[in-house]
Amino acid sequence: MHQILDGKKLSQQLKEELAVFVSERVLKGLKTPHLAAILVGLDGASQTYVASKINSCKEVGFKSTLLNFDADATEEDVLAAVHQLNNDKDIDGFIVQLPLPKHINADKVTYAIDPKKDVDGFHPVNIGNLTLGLDTYISATPFGIMKMLERYHIETSGKHCVVVGRSNIVGRPMSILMSGNTNPGNCTVTLCHSRTKNIAEVTKTADILIVALGIPEFITGEMVKEGAVVIDVGITRVEDNSTKSGYKLKGDVHFESAAEKASFITPVPGGVGPMTVTSLMLNTLKATELKD
């Protein structure tokens, strides 16, 4: 019988804990954490994500600032905003919502962010610190997954963890975190990707299976080991005329068949997604405390 890794419930619990902590900070006369975001264009998903982050700031007692740019904003405009936030002493951390319009070099913008304010954890300095096992900002989705494993008391030491997907945002940092000498961590890690041969043979050996591929329902129950912990990072809109919206949200894992094998499994939606936003709040608090 599988147990649901309920990211929505855990996220709310963490935000309630954060709200208490922030309230106590303020009563002591310490600084209120302040998160800023740069949003370029009218991408629907990006607008939704940024709105969720701003709402979460309100829930936990943070200050928030949104810098909104039209889709035709120049790279120089965005870089100027990054420098403005770098130099604003009241801003503890900030994010540049991705993706950016094609005429803006996302790497150039990311590299311009002060690593001390890079609460998304995408700057090479923070990625380098992560690789070396040093204290750093962990990118929000991997951080959220680690929090989920910790709070659900899932044993990871000595386990075989298979990560499917090698993106710099999820797959690669997850492989580093799960192999680290930490708790959660201390796994033997296999990283799979589009060129992996006989991928089902590899996934069937996973005690912990983390899937971040971006292909709806790629992992089926036949590819899952009995008793595995399955963490589905993917979320894709799939057309479905039976719904009011005209689409359904699907993960990278076929939930029904995988759930028959899994000991723990994340749903989509309501699994990893809510944890990502909450992890950003935790990183922002960390940035604030480093300035105390």
So which residues are the catalytic ones? 53, 97, 120
Residue 68 has φ and ψ, to the nearest 5°, of: -105, 130
* φ/ψ (deg, to 5) at 278: -65, -35
Report residue 275 as tokens: 């944890």
CA atoms within 13 A on the CB side of 171: 17
**CA-to-CA dists, residue 151 to 21, 103, 132, 211, 275, angstroms:** 18, 42, 25, 20, 12
- Please name which of 278, 154, 167, 168 lies closest in space to residue 209, comparing C-alpha atoms: 154
Distance CA 161, CA 158 (A): 9
What token pair was written down for 265? 């499994």
Are the C-beta atoms of 213 and 165 separated by less than 8 Å? yes
Query: Residue 55 contacts by C-beta under 8 Å, 6 or more apart in sequence?
Result: none
Q: Which two tokens stand for residue 92?
A: 């503890």
Report the amino acid identity of residue 64: S
Report strand pairing: 93-96 vs 34-40: parallel
